[in-house]
Amino acid sequence: MPSLRSLLKLFGILLITSILSSHAQNIASRPSEDEIKQAVKVLKVDPNLIDEQKINSLHWVDDKKNDAAKATKIPNWLRWIRNLFVWLAHTSRLLLWTVITVLVALVVIFLLRVIRNYQATQKISSIDLPKHVRDMDIRPENLPDDVGAAAWQLWEQNQQRAALALLYRGLLSRLVHVHAVPIKDSSTEAQCLELTRTHLQSSQTEYVSLALRVWQYAIYGAQLPDSREVQELCERFAAALNPVAQLNTDVTQ
């Protein structure tokens, strides 16, 4: 089927031909060149006879296409930073609560550890340490600060048994309350020496062994030591059993 445009063109040609024929018949001559050009110009101006037409129309703009076109012009690293800030803007509240939750959890863990350490310290301090060992009072508050000097003073005053008893009490008190040797109220001298070997250094064990031997010979065998041996025990007492003095000795070595 011929289109409307083709029919219009054909009609125009026929019209021109008819006009020319009529004009030829009237003047009995051929149309001039100017007349032909004028007729063609009239046909070109007619909007119904042109080959192409421009039609303006309204349509919706596709935002996604515009964003994609703009995104292609942005470098990848700038796009990543932009997306990061967009994500932070959308998740700022969630991020804030997450940080608060983590901080609260850390504080709770810290407090639990503090409480646990405090309870452990209280448990250790509340251990029922013996106050007496076989009727010997070993409480630190009932002993002089310088046990060795006080025992030697008693020895010089001819109070040999009192001097040796003070050395023995001071020895047991230092082992229990300073060095945490697990001596019980019923422990014998041999048991005290065995516990000392597993908890103290060899130099301290040697001193404890010598002091216990002197004590046993004097109490059970009625053999008092000579003054020089007792004086040595009194002078070495602090260096062997006091923690501060022992620390200074280790540093010097």
pLDDT digits (tens, 9 = 90+) for 40-61: 776 666 666 555 656 666 656 5
Closest CA to 237 of 179, 170, 180: 170
Q: Which domain holds residue 140?
A: 132-252
Domain boundary among 102, 127, 152: 127
Look at residue 51 and tell me if it is in a domain.
no
Both 100 and 165 in a single domain? no
Total domains, the chain: 3
Look at residue 194 and tell me if it is in a domain.
yes
pTM of the model: 0.48
Query: For position 247, which CATH number holds?
Result: 1.20.120
Look at residue 106 and tell me if it is in a domain.
yes
Per-residue model confidence as pLDDT tens digits over 93-119: 777 788 888 999 999 999 988 888 777
Both 98 and 161 in a single domain? no
Both 18 and 114 in a single domain? no
Neighbours of 127 (CB within 10 A): 8
How far is Cα 213 from Cα 223, in angstroms, rounded to an integer? 11
Both 149 and 218 in a single domain? yes
Domain boundary among 107, 127, 147: 127
CB distance 12 to 43 below 8 Å: yes
Per-residue model confidence as pLDDT tens digits over 139-180: 999 999 999 999 999 999 999 999 999 999 999 999 998 898
Q: Which residues contact 47 (CB under 8 A, 6 or more apart)?
A: 53
Both 177 and 164 in a single domain? yes
201: left (phi over 0), alpha (psi -120 to 50) or beta: beta
**Phi and psi (nearest 5°) for 46?**
-65, 120
